[in-house]
Amino acid sequence: MGELFGTDGVRGVANEYPMTAEMALNIGRATAHLFKRKGHTPRIIIGKDTRISGYMLENALVSGICSMGVNALLVGPLPTPGIAFTTNSMRADAGIVISASHNPFQDNGIKIFSHEGLKLPDEKELEIEKLIFSNKMHTLHPSANELGKASRIDDARGRYIVFLKNTFPKELTLEGTKIVLDCAYGATYRVAPDTFFELGADVISLFDEPNGENINANCGSQHPETLAEEVIKNKADVGFAFDGDGDRCIAVDENGVVLTGDQIMAICAKEMKKEGTLNNNLVVCTVMSNIGLGISLKKLGIEQEATKVGDRYVLEEMQAKGSVIGGEESGHIIFLNHHTTGDGIITALQVLAAMKKSQRPLSELAQVMKVFPQKLINVDVKSKPELSSIPEVQRVIKGVEGRLGDKGRVLVRYSGTQNMCRVMVEGPSDEETEKYCRQIVDVIRKKLC
């Protein structure tokens, strides 16, 4: 990763470096220059989630793009995967998303898609950084009569909804199915309810009135507690929680039990194998996936590959190995036979398809995987030195690993988007898992906080 771009674009506190209007202007200028070519006026799609800082960053990006003789097409609030779809569908040269995903409203971010709807590779992001820090972009701008224009795409949401509905089997219907949706006050607040309603479902929407400052606040994929309560209260068949930009999905069964992304992958992989659509008999996950996923897939006769954390690495491995399903425990799941990136609404639709085809409730489908006790603690840190360079940290990790043996595992890593160290321990019981995780956290706090 470079100075600006992390594992998921540029991210930080809005109106503070690097998420300033000035930096957004320069990212717009550099991105526009990168995609310019002779005899062609590029078009760049710009979309955002519901954060109040999105207005500031959107206008700065537009100014930068148009100043380089490139046209900007604005779609307004739309899930990240919807912007990837629109970019590809409209044959635009690139797409830019203004979002900090599941982070609180104070944060924001910028991530860029290629014309194929794929996140830019590292080398392209580094080209953008190089342009920004060269301080030479003022020498690259065109003359006044060659400036770009900005316009809005009014039907982007409708186009995306049609695309989403086409990923659900045409022979199936959601009529008679009661679904509760947690829209996280985010980018799915209009798209998700409309999609499931148009497929015939009885939809109950939660957290669907964003005000610019409530995105992800005690709701969404990271806080599904209210969703679970509402599923039980309304006697619904299933519930789904999305994150702020709509690329994650967490499911809740009819009994109010929360399912992880790992369980969703196991359910969908089993159904795909049965249908003969599980290309190369392979599921790609990350090192953060629960031990139970690997055990479940092995019993199903399905191969598993694990990558480092980050959906871009999952996608790269999927493309390299010819897999069509992969994702993260967080609920960021990629169905490559439907989309180029993780899409929370598509994930929900695939779960519903499995329920309809099997004519079984989600609680029964979830029995395909046993979730091993897991404790994850996020520790805010001042800096991110190599963990291998801190003897005390290595000592406590090795000590816990020795006591767990083959009955669990330890994973300690830095967040790619925040100043945070994630400590994850899996073990044979909740008590042991909690105890060992806190032992490591105590040392991390002493050395890095």
Angle between helices 21-34 and 122-134 (to 10 degrees): 120
Reference 219, options 251, 187, 246, 183; nearest CA is 183
What integer is the mean pLDDT of 214-235? 98
Query: Which CATH number is 259-343's, of 3.40.120.10, 3.30.70.1380, 3.40.1260.10, 3.30.2350.10?
Result: 3.40.120.10
**Chain mean pLDDT for the chain:** 95
- Is residue 101 part of the annotated active site? The answer reads yes
Class of domain 374-448: alpha beta
The tens digit of pLDDT for each residue in 151-209 reads 999 999 999 999 999 999 999 999 999 999 999 999 999 999 999 999 999 999 999 99
Distances (CA, A) of 37 to 26, 70, 131, 341: 19, 10, 16, 26
The tens digit of pLDDT for each residue in 350-406 reads 999 999 999 999 999 999 999 989 899 999 999 899 999 999 999 999 999 999 987
Q: How far apart are CA 359 and CA 357, in angstroms?
A: 6
What does residue 75 show for φ and ψ, rounded to 5 degrees?
-110, -5
Same topology between domain 259-343 and domain 374-448? no
pTM, full prediction: 0.90
State the fold for domain 10-154. Alpha-D-Glucose-1,6-Bisphosphate; Chain A, domain 3 (3.40.120)
Residue from 53, 67, 99, 101 carrying the catalytic annotation: 101
Per-residue pLDDT at 1? 55
Question: 288 — alpha (psi -120 to 50), left (phi > 0) or beta?
Answer: alpha
Distances (CA, A) of 218 to 124, 206, 241, 430, 442: 36, 12, 12, 24, 26
Per-domain boundaries in the chain: 10-154, 159-257, 259-343, 374-448
User: Hunting for tokens 């944060």 — which residue is that?
Assistant: 107
Predicted confidence band at 2 (pLDDT cuts at 50, 70, 90)? low
Contact by Cβ (8 Å): 274, 256: no
Report helix, strand or coil for 312.
Answer: helix
Per-residue pLDDT at 348? 98
User: Hunting for tokens 């000592």 — which residue is that?
Assistant: 395
State the fold for domain 159-257. Alpha-D-Glucose-1,6-Bisphosphate; Chain A, domain 3 (3.40.120)
